[in-house]
A and B are shown apart, each in its own frame.
Chain A
């Protein structure tokens, strides 16, 4: 009996005092570096993150490092871990697209890198760090003239096509809307679906409407309308944009069954030569690097100018980026990691993975040969999705679903504008 009481008392003591010893020993500053990648381990850019880490380890053999492949859910994992930023495995660096990282910056969770960028030298160039990046991208990812993340890549949106296939059917890159229609119709006549679309991805679907509305109504007006400050009926460009999108479905330019196609099935159809074009972000060659057959000569072109457009060439520019958590005690290591990531030396292996570098003077990727021209010919630039994905529930429950219903042919352009106006008003309580 007495023995049992002693055992019980011991168990109670252990249970109640265990939390006091939990969490391990607090590490000294800059002993460690924990990096959370938003890639999965097998992905091409994940391999590159591992290469950057190997280089960092070579330069800093005494630093204990950890590279965790969190996948696209990285910010949700981070959110769950924010209750204990002193934990030894709490990340010093997180990666995501600049649009998604802006949420963290606005909440004060990210370290302000402005001074580092503006006042310290790049890793392997005799220039200030910030001057090594494309200035248009850096302008777009700044928040009130401060920088909270450093881009690892630079993207825009365009139509990917196979030059070999275009030659076979006597097609040139279209420079007007009529020429684009001709390209699509010629492909269709030859039994090739002009465009690939994975219709189960709402943001791919609604992106079509955004691209047309940016030009026909202007990017600022689109932003104002999506914020409920003006109506989608205030400018004819919004309806015209919907009419252009509706043409894609009406003319049967997408592959059969596009609405039931689950990512990345449609992209695979393009690399297999079963469709003629795919209208996506410039991440495409990198994402599909393992699938692109050697005989394919892939390149990219922009949506041609549209008659009567408010803005002739609106180009979206964005990048995936690395940010340092404000609570990190390993900031020196983190800054060095990001500098190595953005060094000229590390651009070569990334180039092999067909990813477009944000550095000025980096070797262009063959499949993205026209991307520089697309960006340089822009009359206006804007961030990814015209930043509409930063509108939270409006983006998720109003804009994206309606964009999908438009491209699926479930709504006529007029019905789309009516629904969009009505649901936007309801969302903002106008």
Chain B
């Protein structure tokens, strides 16, 4: 087992990802890191509802949710001042300028990249 940053231990995380294989991998990786996966969502509506209501520390947002963009969920998170990380197979430029402050994970990503992105996102919130 790798040594994970203590900063992520016990963190509650919302995973919004429509690709089942990818979300399984993320979930396993997060569990390995000592995080708590609060919920999984694979569709926009589900993701948005969970983002607006659940209690968590940081969210991982897949950009493309079965053809729908997850930017609306990102906006909801910003309103709640909750940090998030984008995960995408698209180019960075496909993300609206206003949302590019968030860390962006290019798929496929390694556990270390995921950890760095989550830490960066949590760091950002300090300034909210």
A binds B: no
Taking beta carbons and an 8 Å cutoff, which residues of B are in contact with A? none
